[in-house]
C-alpha cells in the first residue's frame, strides 16, 4: 500500500523539491504546508501515514505542531527534517511525539528510508544525532527514586525493550526472538501501556530511566 505523506516546511523551494523527490520515490504526497498551524489542519483533514516536518516555522513551530497532531491524529507518524542538531530541540521533538529526526544534509534516499521506517512503526534518527540522544538518555537514566524490585514488564517484554534499545527494527526483533512481527507489535503495545509511552522512543527513555534496559 502506498504511504500517504504530508510535507511541512516554510521554504517553498525546498518543500516543492522534496515533494518531487518523494513522489519519485513512490510516496503519495497528499498535501504541503508552509507552517505548523497549516500542517496540523492538513493532518486532521487527510490523516496521512507520515508527516515530514521542519522544526523552525512561523505561526506554530514543528514541535508544537507535532504535539497537536499526536492528540488529533494519533496514528499519524511525525518525522522532523531540520537543521537543528542541539540536544534540547531533539529532546523536545521526541517528547512531543516525533518518531524520527533527520538533519537536512541527509540524502533523498535517507529521507525516503526514514519515512518508510516511520510508517512501519519504527524510530529513526540521523547518525550524527546519536550522541545527543545518548546524552539525553544518560541524563534520564539517573533514577530520582529507588527502583522497585517488583517487575514492571515481563521478561519477554524486557527482551523486546533491550533489542529496540540496541536499534533493532520490528523485523529484526522478530527474527532474533523467533516470533512473528505481529507478536512483537503486541509486546510493544503492552510495553507502551505499562510505561505510559506513546512510541518506541519514549518507551526506551522510560525503560532506561527505570533501569530496565542498558546501552550496550
User: Which architecture does CATH list for 141-210?
Assistant: Orthogonal Bundle (1.10)
Q: Please name the fold of domain 4-133.
A: Rossmann fold (3.40.50)
Between 144 and 38, whose confidence is greater? 38
- The stretch 180-209 carries a mean pLDDT of 87
- In the three-class reduction of DSSP (H, G, I as helix; E, B as strand; rest coil), residue 191 is classed as helix
Q: What is the pLDDT of residues 48-105, one digit of tens each?
A: 999 999 998 878 899 999 999 999 999 999 999 988 888 778 888 888 999 989 988 8
Alpha helices in 73-129 (DSSP H): 87-96, 108-119
Q: What is the pLDDT of residues 150-167, one digit of tens each?
A: 678 899 999 999 998 887
Question: What does the pLDDT read at residue 165?
Answer: 84
Query: Structural domain boundaries of the chain?
Result: 4-133, 141-210
Q: What is the pLDDT of residues 171-194, one digit of tens each?
A: 989 999 999 999 999 999 999 998
- The stretch 19-45 carries a mean pLDDT of 95
Beta strands in 46-140 (DSSP E): 50-53, 77-82, 100-103, 124-125
Rg of the chain, C-alpha, whole Å = 17
Q: What is the pLDDT of residues 94-140, one digit of tens each?
A: 889 999 899 888 889 999 999 999 999 888 887 666 655 655 555 55
How far apart CA 119 and CA 99 sit, in angstroms, is 10
- The stretch 37-51 carries a mean pLDDT of 96
Cα 76 to chain centroid distance, Å, stands at 10
Amino acid at each position: 500500500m502506498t504511504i500517504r505523506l504530508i510535507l511541512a516546511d516554510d521554504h517553498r523551494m525546498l518543500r516543492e523539491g522534496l515533494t518531487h523527490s518523494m513522489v519519485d520515490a513512490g510516496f503519495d504526497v497528499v498535501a504541503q504546508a508552509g507552517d505548523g498551524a497549516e500542517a496540523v489542519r492538513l493532518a486532521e483533514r487527510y490523516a496521512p501515514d507520515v508527516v515530514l516536518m521542519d522544526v523552525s516555522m512561523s505561526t506554530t513551530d514543528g514541535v508544537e505542531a507535532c504535539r497537536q497532531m499526536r492528540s488529533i491524529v494519533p496514528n499519524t507518524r511525525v518525522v522532523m527534517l531540520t537543521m537543528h542538531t542541539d540536544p534540547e530541540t531533539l529532546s523536545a521533538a521526541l517528547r512531543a511525539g516525533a518518531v524520527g529526526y533527520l538533519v537536512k544534509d541527509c540524502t533523498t534516499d535517507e529521507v525516503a528510508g526514514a519515512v518508510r521506517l516511520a510508517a512501519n512503526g519504527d524510530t529513526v534518527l540521523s547518525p550524527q544525532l546519536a550522541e545527543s540522544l545518548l546524552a539525553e538518555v544518560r541524563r534520564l537514566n539517573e533514577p530520582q527514586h529507588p527502583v522497585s524490585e517488583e517487575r514492571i514488564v515481563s521478561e519477554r517484554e524486557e527482551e523486546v525493550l533491550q533489542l529496540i534499545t540496541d536499534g533493532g527494527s520490528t523485523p529484526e526483533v522478530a527474527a532474533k526472538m523467533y516470533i512473528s512481527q505481529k507478536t512483537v507489535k503486541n509486546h510493544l503495545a503492552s510495553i507502551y501501556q505499562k510505561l505510559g509511552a506513546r512510541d518506541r522512543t519514549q518507551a526506551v527513555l522510560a525503560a532506561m530511566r527505570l533501569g530496565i534496559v542498558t546501552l550496550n
